[in-house]
């Protein structure tokens, strides 16, 4: 499997397969045909087959998909079998919302610390994730083998903080700041630009 040959569109759909298969598992369903899966997910059966064929298929003629097996295989493709240590930069409402979201943990994303430049900030975190001042950043990343940092800070501070994170060896940045980061190629940046999503909603509301 060569990751580079697979389009962003296909990858973008994998987490949704993973979610539906997880729900089927919870319902105790052991196998499903691509037709049944397509009805549930509201996509065509041929799309499902095409998407999964990028990774070797997994289905069997006349049997369909083994739910448990396919769920595990997609987890592996997405790297959910690898444990990640995350820190969140910015302990405002957004940072705390992300820290409180227990589902990340289930998928191998362990949030080990929150950081904020405001030393007087109260830690409202419900999951006892410790809050540190920004001066501790470098030492903490080194001693805790953190590999992913979440940027839940305003745009103005994001570039400088991202450079600090990269200098400490962070390899993945989940960026909620509304700016594009120019970082070395071996650092992966995944952007969540919320206002862009809201603009797409607005676009689709006038176009319908």
Binding residues (CB under 8 A) for its own copies: these are: 3-4, 11-12, 14-16, 18-19, 42, 77-80, 82, 84, 92-94, 96-98, 100-101, 103-104, 107-109, 124, 147-148, 171-172, 174, 178, 180, 182, 185-186, 188, 190, 192-208
- Write out the H or E segment, with its range, that includes residue 172: strand 172-175
Q: Which residue, 130 or 154, has its beta carbon nearer to its own copies?
A: 154
DSSP 8-state assignment for residue 14 = H
The dihedrals phi and psi of 115, each to the nearest 5 degrees, come to -130, 140
Q: Which residue, 60 or 93, has its beta carbon nearer to its own copies?
A: 93
Dist. CA 206–CA 208, nearest whole Å = 6
Minimum Å distance from CB 72 to its own copies?
A: 14
What DSSP line would sit under 83-142, residue for residue? Answer: -EEEEEE--SHHHHHHHH-THHHHTTEEEEEEEES-TT-----TT---EEEGGGHHHHHH
Q: Which residue, 62 or 208, has its beta carbon nearer to its own copies?
A: 208
Minimum Å distance from CB 150 to its own copies?
A: 9
Q: Which residue, 9 or 61, has its beta carbon nearer to its own copies?
A: 9
Dist. CA 134–CA 86, nearest whole Å = 15
**Cα 67 off chain centre by:** 22
According to DSSP, the residues that pair with 86 across neighbouring strands are 111, 148
Q: Which residue, 58 or 104, has its beta carbon nearer to its own copies?
A: 104
Minimum Å distance from CB 125 to its own copies?
A: 9
Q: Which residue, 59 or 90, has its beta carbon nearer to its own copies?
A: 90
What DSSP line would sit under 47-83, residue for residue? Answer: HHHHHHHTTT---BTTTBEEHHHHHHHHHHHTTTTS-
């Amino acid at each position: 499997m060569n990751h580079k040959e697979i389009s962003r569109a296909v990858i973008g759909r994998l987490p949704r397969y993973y979610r539906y298969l997880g729900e089927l598992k919870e319902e105790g369903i052991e196998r499903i045909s691509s037709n049944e899966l397509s009805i549930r997910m509201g996509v065509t059966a041929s799309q499902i087959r095409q998407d999964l064929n990028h990774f070797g298929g997994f289905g069997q003629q006349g049997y369909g998909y083994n739910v448990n097996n396919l769920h595990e295989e997609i987890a592996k493709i997405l790297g959910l079998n690898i444990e990640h240590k995350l820190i969140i930069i910015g302990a405002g409402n957004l940072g705390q919302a992300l820290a409180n979201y227990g589902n990340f943990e289930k998928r191998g994303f362990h949030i080990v610390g929150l950081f904020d430049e405001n030393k007087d900030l109260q830690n409202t975190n419900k999951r006892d994730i410790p809050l540190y001042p920004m001066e501790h950043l470098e030492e903490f990343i080194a001693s805790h083998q953190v590999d992913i940092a979440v940027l839940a800070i305003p745009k103005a501070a994001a570039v400088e903080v991202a450079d600090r994170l990269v200098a400490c060896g962070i390899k993945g940045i989940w960026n909620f700041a509304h700016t594009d980061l120019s970082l070395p190629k071996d650092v992966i940046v995944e952007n969540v630009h919320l206002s862009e999503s809201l603009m797409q909603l607005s676009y689709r509301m006038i176009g319908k």
